[in-house]
Chain A
Amino acid sequence: MLAKNQFVTIKGTRDGLTLYLNDTCDVDRLLEELDHMLMSEHFDHEESLVTITVQLGKRYLHTGEREKLESIISKRSHFVIQSIESDVVLKEDAIRWKEESEIRTFSKTIRSGQVIDIVGDVLLIGDINPGGTLKATGNIFVLGHLRGTAHAGHTGDKNAVIMASYMNPMQLRIADFFSRSPDYESDGVYMEGAYVEDSGKIMIDRLHVVAKKRPDLSGFERSVLNG
């Protein structure tokens, strides 16, 4: 029989319970103890739903272990897992976060027939010519003339924006939405940005208006939080 509360510490907060799990012991023993603790009569089964936050410390759980942990907690029907948090992440996740949150800068003219595909945000110093396409999983910023096609958030991020110092595009696409230029000749506009409105329409407005609509445009946290 294990000594009580050796590896698991439970704290009650206003939002529910937080389980602090020791990060230096063996996983199986940890889960065993957790299972045992939760089984004990300390927890009143009459209570309404309790949200659980799990703090893993510096332990990384692989998928199987994580499933086990989840099943131990959700076995008790009045427990709801809110989050399982760990101080450590896999290198590949970290790299992916970094890539997605990074702004790639490159300077060239994207010419007719050329397609550039970028992971993360992109700052293009140069023009997108008619017939050229720039795709990014994040936001697109063009320091130049946007005369071709830009596709921001092409993996599905509706919050992505397209900004350009001169906006006269053939087509704009954000996530699954797209809009095209009018059929009549039109002059472009300077310093404007495009975003998806709640109704699902792509709108073009002045830069500061777009920035106001997407307050989390600035800052690293945005991508990490989304990640």
Chain B
Amino acid sequence: MAEAIVITSGKGGVGKTTTTANLGTALALMNQKVCLLDTDIGLRNLDVVMGLENRIIYDIVDVAQERCNLKQALIKDKRFDYLFLLPAAQTSDKHDLTEEAMVEMITELKKEFDYIIIDCPAGIEQGYKNAVAGADHAIVVTTPEKSSVRDADRIIGLLEQEEIEPPKLVINRIRNHMMETGDMLTIDEIIQVLSIDLLGIVADDDEVIKASNHGEPVAFQPNTKASISYRNIARRILGESVPLQSFEEEEGMMAKVKRFLGMRKH
């Protein structure tokens, strides 16, 4: 049974698009048929992160307004046979897309794919409503910052009014050393406030920025912290039970000696 999952956050810049691209890639790595939907009309990014910008001919608004059919607008990924992208429009207005059109498109896509992952724009207006319209599940992305958690809380409140299952949480950009010193909200604090299930945590990893600048999602790399995180989340979406990753730094020889001499606290 195909599932449509919307990735949302309320606040901008917390990593919705990155999460969408990487979960899509990770699910494709596990031999799932995946379609990514960018609903951030006017500010499309997902195609850039996926490195598919140069292949766009038609976009989601063209499909909604029947200037082309759905198959024509889908862009096949460079790396996988069954990873597709339906890009957002760059020149249209978000009101050119309606909730009904979205539901229709997603119903159509469900026949073909296992997972449809919808990248939601920031904010809570029409764009958000469009993105949520056809979704069965929602993933709320937040960072360990108060403003981001506040917006996530607001979005969760709005999602509760929709006819979808309770949203799951992804905490992005975790900096372990700041959590340890108390300068950043801890995972427990965030979960306590938001009181929804945690789907996964992702470390703040430079590789993510490097990878998205190359148009190649980090989840594709074998062994960086963030890529493991995203693949773990994908495995949990598929129903596997995977323990949470620990972001503690491996201790070097010098650190061990220093700690032994009492010069450094763990």
- A-side residues, CB < 8 A to B, are 109, 111-114, 126-127, 129-132, 145, 147
Contacts and interface: CB of A to CB of B under 8 A. Distances in A.
B153 A112 contact: yes
Interface in B152-178: 153-154, 156-157, 160
A112 B154 contact: yes
B154 A109 contact: no
A112 B157 CA distance: 7
Contacts of B193: 127, 129-130, 147
A131 B150 contact: yes
A130 B195 contact: no
Given A109-B195, A147-B193, A130 B150 contact: yes
15 contacts: A111-B156, A111-B160, A112-B150, A112-B151, A112-B153, A112-B154, A112-B157, A113-B154, A114-B157, A127-B195, A129-B194, A130-B193, A131-B153, A131-B154, A145-B192
Contact of A130 (B153, B156, B157, B160): B153
Interface string B184-196: 0000000011110
B235 to A, nearest CB: 28
A147 B193 CA distance: 9
A111 B160 CA distance: 10
A132 B195 CA distance: 14
Contacts of B192: 145
A131 B150 CA distance: 8
Q: Which 10 A-B pairs have the closest CB atoms?
A: A111-B157, A112-B153, A112-B154, A113-B154, A111-B153, A114-B157, A129-B153, A112-B150, A109-B195, A131-B150
A108 to B, nearest CB: 8
A22 B194 CA distance: 63
Contacts of A112: 150-151, 153-154, 157
B240 to A, nearest CB: 28
Given A126-B195, A132-B153, 19 more contacts: A109-B195, A111-B153, A111-B156, A111-B160, A112-B150, A112-B151, A112-B153, A113-B157, A127-B193, A127-B195, A129-B194, A130-B150, A130-B153, A130-B193, A131-B150, A131-B153, A131-B154, A145-B192, A147-B193
Contacts of A111: 153-154, 156-157, 160
A147 B160 CA distance: 20
A147 B154 CA distance: 14
A205 B153 CA distance: 29
Nearest to B10: A112
A129 B160 CA distance: 15
B145 to A, nearest CB: 13
